[in-house]
A and B are shown apart, each in its own frame.
Chain A
């Protein structure tokens, strides 16, 4: 039952998104603009600053993620479907998980474009270890989106929510971003130290577990009027 609700929420969001592709296109365009701004600012005389690629990739993911998070729930608010979603005889954590998976899928799609772009513009060997990179990106995205989905859902009824989402989201998710950046920069070194990589990945998994548990625990009371 629980899994079915997660699937239904995910499928609903996916179908709405596929029909208009509004969030996907705007988010992707914004993320690409971000990377380009960094490239204009930092790449001088054709040389990218050393070790900058990891940070820029994660900043672009965080910014694009904030945009996507704001939009997903804004859609529910504009169509006044949030109440219907919450009134449905479904476990609230399942609704949360469905939304979370939707955001993770959307961000992962954006990352498939962002990674080659950053690798190209900053001359970084990001694609040299694709499996490690995929693991880092997945765990980092889940951690970021776990907090983001909860906060975006909470803020839906708040005044000035567009401003408040980044204000609340960044201080909490900074550990995830730091771990993501560090792990990615380990990958960019000439000989990869798998020991370091495993430590940062373990830390990312820890954050994911803590954030998802806290979010699942608090989603129900937070979404009750």
Chain B
């Protein structure tokens, strides 16, 4: 493990413990009330979901054209995180939607595109698990198509007339809402980096064991 891992893990733990306090102290939003607090989890997890898809896509391209197996492990770790943060996003979103729109789910462009992005990540993991030998390259190809979805998710709200809030909301937030949001986002980012590193290490050790077995056989 790199030296920075333990201190950062402690920092991340502290931030995750502090974030709920900051969120609780943030003022109530006038129309949404208590439910608006879901936003402090929903938005950072959605960002991490998109980030994971981008990391997975870029690592896959580098693996596909460079053949470095470290990039492959990074892509795999990122795909798992995309599924994880995707679940958080897709569960917290409807909680907010129920109050704001009166329905749990709407076939809105951004919602549909996010769901599809999440399904691509799940398909990636299925392929890695059941694809057998050679599935690493196939999965890399899939990740590339999954990454093409990311800009679509991001811009969809600005180009289509949808009911999802647009990307203009965040820059215009007042400080009392902005501080807990950015704090929570930083905690999520830290968690993302730590989990990514941890997951990669697991794969590295697995690869090392495989190599040891192979060397024993010959």
* Residues of A close to B64: CB separation below 8 A: 218, 221-222
Pick from A155, A171, A218 the residue with the most CB of B within 10 Å: A171
Q: Looking at the complex, which one of A155, A157, A170, A218 makes contact with B144 (CB distance below 8 Å)?
A: A218
Which residues of chain B are near A125, meaning CB under 8 Å? none
Chain A residue with Cβ nearest B131: A158
Beyond A160-B130, A164-B131, A221-B65, whether A154 also contacts B116 by CB under 8 A is no
Residues in chain A near residue B137, CB distance under 8 A = 154, 221-222
Contacting pair B126 A167 (CB below 8 A): yes
| Interface bits B17-45 vs A (CB < 8 Å: 1, else 0) | 00000000000000000000000000000
Closest chain-B Cβ to A29's Cβ sits at a distance in Å of: 28
Interface string of A163-195 (1 = CB under 8 A from B): 110011011101100100000000000000000
Interface of B: prevailing SS? helix
Please determine whether B138 and A172 come into contact, CB atoms closer than 8 angstroms. no
With A and B bound together, what is the CA distance between A147 and B120 in angstroms?
Answer: 13
Give B189 Cβ to nearest chain A Cβ, in Å: 26
Main secondary structure of the interface of A (DSSP, over half): helix
**Given A175-B113, A218-B64, CB of A168 within 8 Å of CB of B142:** yes
Q: A160, A163, A211: which has the most chain B beta carbons within 10 Å?
A: A160
Are the CB atoms of B141 and A158 closer together than 8 Å? no
How long is the Cα–Cα vector from A214 to B116 in the complex, in angstroms?
18
Min CB–CB distance B71 → chain A (angstroms): 13
Give B residues with C-beta under 8 Å from A: 64-65, 112-113, 116, 119-120, 122-123, 126-127, 130-135, 137-138, 140-142, 144-146, 148-149, 152
